[in-house]
Amino acid sequence: MNEKPTYEKLPSGEEFKKKFQKKLEEMCVTNIDIEQAVEKIKQQIEPFLELSSGTDQAHIILAIEEIKVSKDRDDLLIKILNLTNLIFKLRNLNPMEFEKIYEEQLRDHYYNSGYGAERNLQPLNRLLAWGIDGDTIELHIPPNWSLPPFEIKRLWIDGLKKLVIIVEENPLIVEICGKNKLVKDHTKFFESLGFSVKEDLITLRVKDLIAIYKEPGE
């Protein structure tokens, strides 16, 4: 949890749409070669096409191709807005599947080229990632939408059980820690998991982790 904020609450329709549109715009504006930009957009959009009918797919593919023949920057932005509107019709049809695909894309970026890649982080589960810093394992939260409380607790327990195996394979590790602005609003939750809490910092000694979360017979 020692990171630039990556936890995202599920945005409203318009907020989500603007964020998606901005991402497509950045792909075009930061690429000198429009052909390369369009290929990146195709890769971004392709998973969403599974949610569309044949007619919708045809309109989306045509809108992508039209980006190649943009007359100027203003024309380019208009075409990207048109493409965004077409994509977000799919979200209205199946919002849960749409957001699942988008979350997977965020997570893929996080671990392969974003903050997670920079810190050499590894996933524990959907909610948690981990990395080693000296004799400490740092916990991080990769991009994900808001989860119900029971699922958050289940994933924390699942992640801590997996950490038992990791620390037993890394005997020099003495402590688990995480730092996030969310901590101070959920002190009792983290204490119930066995952590010591100080403002936005949580810590757990490895010996306590093993005592609490090691599965019987392991």
The per-residue pLDDT string of the chain (218 residues; one tens digit each, 9 = 90 and over) reads 644 333 344 455 677 788 888 888 888 877 668 888 888 889 889 999 888 888 889 999 999 999 988 888 889 899 999 999 999 888 888 888 888 888 888 888 889 888 899 999 999 999 999 999 999 999 999 887 667 889 999 999 999 999 999 999 999 999 999 998 889 889 999 999 999 999 999 999 999 999 999 988 76
User: Beta partners for 176?
Assistant: 137, 204
User: What length does the chain have?
Assistant: 218
Residue 103: its pLDDT value, please? 84
- Spatial separation of the C-alpha atoms in residues 179 and 175, rounded to whole Å: 13
pTM of the model: 0.73
Q: DSSP letter string over 144-172?
A: -----HHHHHHHHHHHHHHHHHHHHH-TT
**32 CB contacts (<8 Å, ≥6 apart)?**
none
**Token duo for residue 18:** 């603007």
Domain-wise residue ranges, the chain: 13-112, 120-213
Residue 6: its pLDDT value, please? 38
Chain centroid to CA 86: how far? Answer: 24
The helix or strand, by DSSP H or E, that contains position 101, with its residue range, turns out to be helix 95-112
- Spatial separation of the C-alpha atoms in residues 135 and 140, rounded to whole Å: 16
- Number of Cβ within 10 Å of residue 130's Cβ equals 19
- Spatial separation of the C-alpha atoms in residues 64 and 40, rounded to whole Å: 11
Q: Which CATH superfamily is domain 120-213 in?
A: Gcn5-related N-acetyltransferase (GNAT) (3.40.630.30)
